């Protein structure tokens, strides 16, 4: 029997849908090791307290909060990108939908874990609810993160119902019985009847609009946590839009990275095409200019402010004994290299765009470090006669181990989700006219 | 193998034994640190107490001697009366409070105190003596033509008689939040010291000030003080303005309405979306 091109596409996901491959197991094991190492560090932290971290009285936030912002940024941007792709019905973006949904959910699961790691007295965590103050941005953030996580997890599920139905009915994959039963239950009896298509679309549309609204609001709330304080580098009306732009920038970079990994792993060149890379590379370039604009605006206004505290803060970014090198790397990875590679046509290849995306992710991680630590090291009342570790923050092995565990967990969750559905929305592509090969708008203008 | 010389003379053995015993005793003495003891006496109208501070010295300088017992005595020609025993705290100090009825004074009005530390394996014993008289200080204020004059008077008490104090330094302070602000210092002359009180000191919301007059570490009186309140300060009104974003303030109505509306709208649409999912199975 001849099988359709879409069944052939589905067959590419034989591993890990039917059974897991050796390479899958090895990667899974490596990530488990990372998480296990993090657990050892966590035990140390629980036994000895936060003294095993580099956080002290003045620098009370460190890598944990940096990771929290980084992963939440990834999560919110995935939610925004997924919603926009769906609502605007951009046909060429269809193969990318599940990527955005995957890293949205995973980012929103991993990010808040770092808040728990940052809290000294976890036994008092319920005080957040017991003594919640509705006028506190922290309360808003807790509500917003939980709301978004539930919404996006549900959206991920709804977006996969057609794929679950496809898998349920498919004969081309030898899926284990237990998994097939589970997938059948998840498919909700969807069989592609016109009424079912209509209702599923309505459900997905409503949730996509809601998520777009709540994700932007939640990321803004995260920014307001900083912006509503008076500290140099934080007290800025620009912070909320900057956070959203930086989140989108890191989200597009993460999307490109996932496109490249899945394309290589599952030989998806026909579905995730070079044109996808060029289009997303172009999106990356636009966001890069936005990031450059916000960065300039942020630092030049602070630099022009001649107050003593702001002066001490801005000097740290120019001093190579402090954060000069990190600032330079942030600008190089986040602005200069992306512009050079993405603007010059002969530098633009899927590979180079992916390398730029990785550099952007590193640059934006460093940017989060520069947002948090130098400000906390610059109190309004200057620190005198204190031990050096109170003045300068240095992350310890415990924090690095837990950071590694966070990244390991991020990969693990995506790998586990991949066990139950293909990372490409095969069913959606099948019901479209063709697998769309996108063209960037500047080529369609010719 | 070790060979014992059987030709050692008995007198040499005795010398050797004495030498060893003396060395052990001297070694023990050298192993003990010398203790430095300071004894101070404090008095006011309501209370009397002694503070004994003990220190020792090592390579890093003077260190507080923590957790050692100090015995306090009141001595007279005929008896030594133990007032009590106190263990030194983290600051190396032991404080003993007592009443006038607990102690005996001599015919000149002196009470003779003694603090002792018995010593232990690590520290040598120490002793300090002190003789002090009971004094009575008083503060009185007078305002004439907007000029405020504060007078401090001091008398020593000998066998129930009050005798004016002379040629004794006295300092006057005003209590502030973190420490006492010195405002005048001079000498008690025939039992009194008067000075013009400043007009510009901030007081509490009513203008109240706590004024302290103090004789500090005097040879005969130790440290003696008296406190009184005068409404001679400038009233300072703390801002009673509303602080809308304070921890204890209530959320403004517009925030409650906005947040409630936003999240209600979001959750309404979430459940609307979910409700449609349930219909899929029925179709």
Which band of pLDDT confidence, cut at 50, 70 and 90, is reported for residue A444?
A: very low
pLDDT of residue B8: 62
Tell me if A7 is assigned to some domain. no
- Calpha distance A324→A320 (Å, rounded): 4
Print pLDDT tens along chain B (283 aa).
Answer: 445 556 667 677 788 888 888 777 776 666 788 999 999 999 998 899 999 999 998 888 899 999 999 999 999 888 899 999 999 999 999 999 999 999 999 999 999 999 999 998 889 999 999 999 999 999 999 998 889 999 999 999 998 899 999 999 999 999 998 889 999 999 998 899 999 999 889 998 899 999 999 999 999 999 999 999 999 999 988 766 666 677 677 788 888 898 889 889 999 999 999 999 888 887 7
Closest partner residue to B266 among A147, A161, A203, by Cβ? Answer: A147
Which residues does A77 contact at the CB level (< 8 Å), separation at least 6? Answer: A104, A247, A248, A249, A250, A251, A252, A254
Question: A10 lies in a domain?
Answer: no
Q: Which residues of B touch A154 (CB under 8 A)?
A: 270, 273-274
CA distance B76 to chain A (A): 50
pLDDT at residue B14 in the model: 80
User: In angstroms, rounded to a whole number, what is the distance separating the alpha carbons of residues B266 and B259?
Assistant: 11
> Cα angle at A54 between A126 and A367, to 5 degrees?
90
User: Which pLDDT belongs to residue B52?
Assistant: 96
ipTM of the complex: 0.86
Phi-psi region of B198 (alpha: psi -120 to 50; beta: other; left: phi over 0): beta
CATH number at residue A29: 1.20.1630.10
Q: Quick one: pLDDT at residue A2?
A: 65
Residues of A with CB under 8 A from a CB of B: 133-135, 140, 143, 147, 150-151, 154, 158, 161, 188-190, 193, 195-196, 199-200, 202-204, 206-207, 209-210, 213-214, 217
Please indicate, yes or no, if residue A423 is contained in any of the structural domains: yes
The sign one gets for the Cα dihedral A262, A268, A274, A280 is negative
Q: What element of type H or E holds B55? A: strand B48-58
A91 pLDDT more than 60: yes
Look at residue A290 and tell me if it is in a domain.
yes
Residue A213: closest C-alpha in chain B: B266
Collect all residues of chain B within an 8 Å Cβ-Cβ radius of residue A199.
276-277, 279-280, 283
Q: Looking at residues A195-206, what average pLDDT do you find?
A: 91
Q: Which residues of B touch A (CB under 8 A)?
A: 245, 247, 249-252, 255-256, 259, 262-263, 266-267, 269-270, 272-274, 276-277, 279-281, 283
Side-chain-facing half-sphere of A400: CA atoms under 13 Å: 4
Give phi and psi for B11, each to the nearest 5. Answer: -65, -30
Q: Give the domains, in start order, of chain B with CATH numbers.
A: 35-133 (2.60.40.1940), 134-230 (2.60.40.1940)
pLDDT confidence of residue A121: 82
Give the residue numbers spanning the domain of A324. 17-121+130-444
Overall domain count for chain A: 1
Within-domain flag for A263: yes
pTM exceeds 0.80, yes or no: no
B283 or A269: whose pLDDT is higher?
A: A269
pLDDT band, residue A442 (cuts 50/70/90): very low
pLDDT digits (tens, 9 = 90+) for A176-197: 899 999 999 999 999 888 899 8
User: Is A271 in contact with A437 (CB distance < 8 Å)?
Assistant: no
Which of B247, B249, B268, B270 should be substituted to probe chain A, the one whose Cβ sees the most A Cβ atoms within 10 Å? Answer: B270
Average pLDDT, chain A: 90
Reduced 3-state DSSP string for chain A: CCCCHHHHHHHCCHHHHCCCCHHHHHHHHHHHHHHHHHHHHHHHHHHHCHHHCCCCCCCCCCHHHHHHHHHHHHHHHHHHHHHHHHHCCCHHHHHHHHHHHHHHHHHHHHHHHHHHHHCCCHHHCCHHHHCCCCCCHHHHHHHHHHHHHHHHHHHHHHHHHHHHHHHHHCCCCCCCHHHHHHHHHHCCCCCCCHHHHHHHHHHHHHHHHHHHHHHHHHHHHHHHHHHCCCCCCCCCCCHHHHHHHHHHHHHHHHHHHHHHHHHHHHCCCCCCCHHHHHHHHHHHHHHHHHHHHHHHHHHHHHHHCCCHHHHHHHHHHHCCCCCHHHHHHHHHHHHHHHHHHHHCHHHCCHHHHHHHHHHHHHHHHHHHHHHHHHHHCCCCCCCCCCCHHHHCCCCCHHHHHHHHHHHHHHHHHHHHHHCCCCCCCHHHHHHCCCCCCCCCHHHHCC
Partners of A195 on chain B (C-beta within 8 Å) are 283
Q: Kindly report the backbone phi and psi dihedral angles of residue B50, in degrees, each rounded to the nearest multiple of 5, phi listed first.
A: -115, 145
Residue A161 within any structural domain of the chain? yes
Does residue A5 lie within any of the structural domains?
A: no
Closest of A222, A229, A242 to residue A375, by C-alpha: A229
Residue A6, in any domain of the structure: no
């Amino acid at each position: 029997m001849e099988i359709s091109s879409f069944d052939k596409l589905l067959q590419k996901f034989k591993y890990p849908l039917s059974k897991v491959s050796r390479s899958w197991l090895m990667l899974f094991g490596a990530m488990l090791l990372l998480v296990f190492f993090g657990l050892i560090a966590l035990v140390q932290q629980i036994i000895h307290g936060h003294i095993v971290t580099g956080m002290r009285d003045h620098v009370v936030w460190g890598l944990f909060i940096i990771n929290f912002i980084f992963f939440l940024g990834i999560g919110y941007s995935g939610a925004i990108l997924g919603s926009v792709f769906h609502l605007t019905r951009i046909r060429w973006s269809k193969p990318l939908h599940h990527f955005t949904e995957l890293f949205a959910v995973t980012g929103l699961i991993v990010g808040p874990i770092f808040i728990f790691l940052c809290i000294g007295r976890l036994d008092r965590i319920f005080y957040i609810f017991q003594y919640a103050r509705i006028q506190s941005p922290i309360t808003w953030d807790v509500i917003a993160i939980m709301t978004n996580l539930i919404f996006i997890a549900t959206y991920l599920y709804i977006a996969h119902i057609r794929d679950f139905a496809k898998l349920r009915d498919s004969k081309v994959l030898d899926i284990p019985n237990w998994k097939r039963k589970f997938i059948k239950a998840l498919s909700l009896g969807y069989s592609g009847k016109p009424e079912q298509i209509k209702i599923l679309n309505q459900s997905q549309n409503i949730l996509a609009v809601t998520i777009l609204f709540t994700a932007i609001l939640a990321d803004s709330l995260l920014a307001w946590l900083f912006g509503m304080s008076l500290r140099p580098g934080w007290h800025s009306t620009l912070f909320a839009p900057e956070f959203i732009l930086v989140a989108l920038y890191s989200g597009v970079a993460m999307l490109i990275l996932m496109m490249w990994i899945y394309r290589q792993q599952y030989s998806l060149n026909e579905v995730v095409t070079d044109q996808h890379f060029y289009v997303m590379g172009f999106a990356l370039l636009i966001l890069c200019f936005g990031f450059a604009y916000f960065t300039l605006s942020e630092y030049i206004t602070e630099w022009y402010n001649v107050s003593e505290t702001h002066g001490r803060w801005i000097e740290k970014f120019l001093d190579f004994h402090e954060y000069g090198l990190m600032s330079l790397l942030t600008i190089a990875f986040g602005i200069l290299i992306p512009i050079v590679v993405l603007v010059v046509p002969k530098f633009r290849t899927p590979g180079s765009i992916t390398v730029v995306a990785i550099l952007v992710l590193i640059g934006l991680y460093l940017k989060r470090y520069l947002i948090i630590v130098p400000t906390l090291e610059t109190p309004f009342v200057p620190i005198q006669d204190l031990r050096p570790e109170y003045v300068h923050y240095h992350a310890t092995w415990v924090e690095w181990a837990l950071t590694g565990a966070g990244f390991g967990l991020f990969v693990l969750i995506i790998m586990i989700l991949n066990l139950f559905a293909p990372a490409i929305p095969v069913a959606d592509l099948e019901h479209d006219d063709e697998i769309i090969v996108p063209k960037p708008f500047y080529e369609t203008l010719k | 193998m070790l060979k014992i010389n059987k030709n050692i003379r008995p007198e040499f053995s005795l010398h050797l034994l004495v030498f060893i015993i003396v060395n052990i005793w001297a070694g023990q003495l050298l192993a003990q640190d010398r203790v430095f003891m300071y004894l101070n006496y404090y008095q006011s109208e309501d209370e009397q107490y002694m503070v004994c501070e003990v220190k020792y010295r090592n390579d890093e300088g003077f260190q507080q001697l923590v957790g050692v017992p100090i015995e306090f005595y009141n001595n007279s020609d005929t008896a030594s009366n133990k007032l009590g025993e106190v263990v030194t705290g983290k600051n190396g100090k032991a404080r003993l409070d007592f009443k006038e009825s607990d102690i005996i004074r001599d015919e000149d009005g002196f009470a003779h105190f003694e603090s002792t530390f018995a010593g232990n394996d690590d520290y040598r014993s120490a002793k300090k003596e002190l003789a002090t008289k009971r004094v009575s200080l008083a503060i009185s204020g007078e305002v004439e033509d907007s000029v405020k004059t504060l007078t401090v008077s001091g008398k020593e008490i000998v066998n129930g008689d009050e005798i004016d104090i002379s040629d004794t330094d006295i300092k006057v302070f005003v209590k502030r939040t973190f420490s006492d602000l010195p405002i005048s210092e001079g000498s008690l002359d025939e039992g009194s010291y008067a000075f013009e009180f400043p007009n510009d000191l901030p007081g509490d919301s009513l203008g109240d000030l706590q004024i302290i007059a103090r004789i500090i570490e005097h040879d005969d009186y130790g440290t003696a003080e008296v406190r009184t309140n005068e409404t001679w300060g400038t009233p300072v009104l703390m801002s009673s303005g509303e602080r809308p974003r304070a921890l204890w303030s209530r959320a403004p109505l517009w925030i409650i309405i906005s947040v409630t509306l936003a999240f209600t709208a979001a959750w309404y649409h979430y459940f609307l979306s979910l409700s449609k999912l349930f219909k899929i199975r029925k179709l």
